[in-house]
């Protein structure tokens, strides 16, 4: 599970990214927040750019 935030501000996340498999028996892992935008100019962070191509 990973919280998604718009920018690197200290604002609370409003979305959660969840990856699950039916019948999976693993423990829940909470990852650090994923910051989507590097700044207010709507440029994506390097991590988001790497994931979306």
Q: What tens digit of pLDDT does each residue of 4-29 get?
A: 877 776 677 888 888 888 888 888 88
> How far apart (Å, rounded) are the C-alpha atoms in residues 17 and 3?
6
Which H or E element spans position 31?
strand 31-35
> What mean pLDDT, rounded, does the chain reach?
82
Spans of all domains in the chain? 1-13+29-53
Contact at 8 Å (CB) between 18 and 1? yes
Given this model, what pLDDT does residue 9 score? 67
Given this model, what pLDDT does residue 17 score? 85
13 vs 1, 23, 27, 30, 46, CA distance in Å?
A: 12, 28, 22, 13, 19
Given this model, what pLDDT does residue 10 score? 64
In degrees and rounded to multiples of 5, residue 26 shows phi and psi of -85, 160
């Amino acid at each position: 599970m990973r919280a998604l935030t718009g920018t690197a501000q200290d604002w609370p996340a409003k979305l959660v990214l969840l990856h699950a498999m039916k019948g999976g028996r693993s423990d829940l892992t909470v990852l650090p927040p994923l910051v989507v935008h590097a700044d207010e100019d709507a440029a994506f962070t390097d991590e988001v750019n790497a994931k979306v191509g």
